[in-house]
Amino acid sequence: MNTQSSSELANTNVIWILGDQHRGQATAYNLDPNALTPNLDNLATAGVNFAQAVSGFPLCCPARGSFLTGRYPHHMVPGHEYPLPADARTIAHVFNDAGYHTAYFGKWHLDGFHERGGRAAMHIVPPEHRGGFQQWIGYENNNSQWDTWVHGGSGEQSGPHRLPGFETDALTDLLLEYLRQAGKDRARGDATPFFAVLSVQPPHDPYQAPEAFRRPFTPAGIQLRPNVPAVPRIVERARRELAGYYAMIANLDWNVGRIVDVLRDTGLMDSTHLMFFSDHGDMHGSHGQFRKTGPYNESIRIPLLISGEQSFYHGRKTGVSPILFNHVDMAPTTLGLTGIAPPAWMEGTDFSGHRLAGHPVKIPDSAYLQCVVPTGHHDSVDRPWRGVVTGDGWKYVAFEGVPWLLFNLNEDPFEQVNLAHNARYAPERRRLNDRLGQWIADTGDTFNLPDV
């Protein structure tokens, strides 16, 4: 099987496509009976599906700070509405230094703006706070997908202007314009590679979608996960919200198809890695909970595909990878796909060998989970916690000084049997508590673990 050298890999482009609050279970290729995702299914077939990928801190701002920098939240963005440090280096800086053009479209949520000061969609993110991207058109935060305002640009900066229609469609239009221009540049002999990010708010609440995408999804037709308790108010809310949620995912999938079509039309598909993922998941009634910030699988699991770029040729692997890919691994892995060595300040791991044949394959024994600064919002966990999920199928989570959760995921994938306070499992609890303590020490974190 042919493989490529680092110099050849450096001529490849990368596109990140990410939704907000899209849980890893909510795709057809991961066997969700509700999901309609034909375009993502095709990418999964042509690429690698990291079926156990997690968001180590299932909250928007910390997760985004981590996947852009490859550093853990307690070093970058420890909580909601905390800014990315002004001197933080991101993956865009590394790509800039390597001769890439870098572009970002959509949701940012890393400038530290507090919604109590006004609507975040109207807040102007200064150019020096845009993570080093050469072209940046986006907004700080927006919870109104039919009323989306963006600002920024490249060179001369534009003030806030309203995008037409539904957010995912309009932001995708901006990326498509960028890709068409890149295709024209390529046809003229400009071989400058690019790293582009499309970051959309859906399927984040409010769970609305264009009418055509809502038609297949009704509350009565939704199949709930087995861990949604039969409590009428929880079931009713979960069904109602999930109908809109899956409609937004179907719309996002349609836009992924539009991106693939343009990449093919411009001749860019054969030289572009496509990475699809999200910042965290959404509980939707599982365990009686909603939204995020908890350590349950519905909250921490994210979709992650690495696809595109001559999938079946030139040493590209396909299939399902079971590794525990964490949010801090996104940046170093992306660099690895292009033959760029991740800088020493990135704390994550380069897992590009799971896509590139002939490259080192690394298998982590576990992934580190955190809630550093709780939000205090309704439908959220209201105290700090730390946890670990292991490659041999265990999850352990502790509050400060107190064990909280212990699950054997091999026999209990829906996390319905908490073993944390069962003396029969005390040896397993000690083992996992020790491994969690090692993660805390290795990452320079601070947390008071229980004495088990």
Does 5 have pLDDT greater than 80? no
Q: What is the pTM for the complete model shown?
A: 0.96
Can you list the alpha helix ranges (DSSP code H) found in 197-292?
Answer: 211-214, 232-265
- Beta pairing class for 13-19 and 366-371: unpaired
Q: Give the per-residue pLDDT at 8.
A: 57
Q: Give the per-residue pLDDT at 313.
A: 57
Do 285 and 235 meet the contact criterion of CB atoms below 8 Å apart?
yes
Sign (positive or negative) of CA dihedral 138, 139, 140, 142: negative
pLDDT mean across residues, the chain? 95
Does 45 have pLDDT greater than 90? yes
For the segment 260-275, what is each residue's pLDDT rounded down to a tens digit? 999 999 999 999 999 9
Q: Percent of the chain beyond pLDDT 70? A: 96
Q: Give the per-residue pLDDT at 2.
A: 40
127 C-beta neighbours (distance < 10 Å), count: 12
29's tokens: 């290729």
The full set of domains in the chain, from first to last, is 6-364 (3.40.720.10), 383-442 (3.30.1120.10)
For the segment 342-385, what is each residue's pLDDT rounded down to a tens digit? 999 999 999 999 999 888 999 999 999 999 999 989 999 999 99
86 C-beta neighbours (distance < 10 Å), count: 8
> For the residues 71-78, what does the mean pLDDT come to?
98
Does 1 have pLDDT greater than 50? no
Q: How many Cα atoms occupy the beta-carbon half-sphere of 399 within 13 Å?
A: 7
Per-residue confidence band for 230, with pLDDT thresholds at 50, 70 and 90 = very high
Q: Give the per-residue pLDDT at 311.
A: 55
Residue with tokens 């909970």: 289
Q: Give the per-residue pLDDT at 280.
A: 98
For the segment 90-133, what is each residue's pLDDT rounded down to a tens digit? 999 999 999 999 999 999 999 999 998 899 999 999 999 999 99
For the segment 301-344, what is each residue's pLDDT rounded down to a tens digit? 999 999 986 655 567 899 999 999 999 999 999 999 999 999 99
Does 51 have pLDDT greater than 60? yes
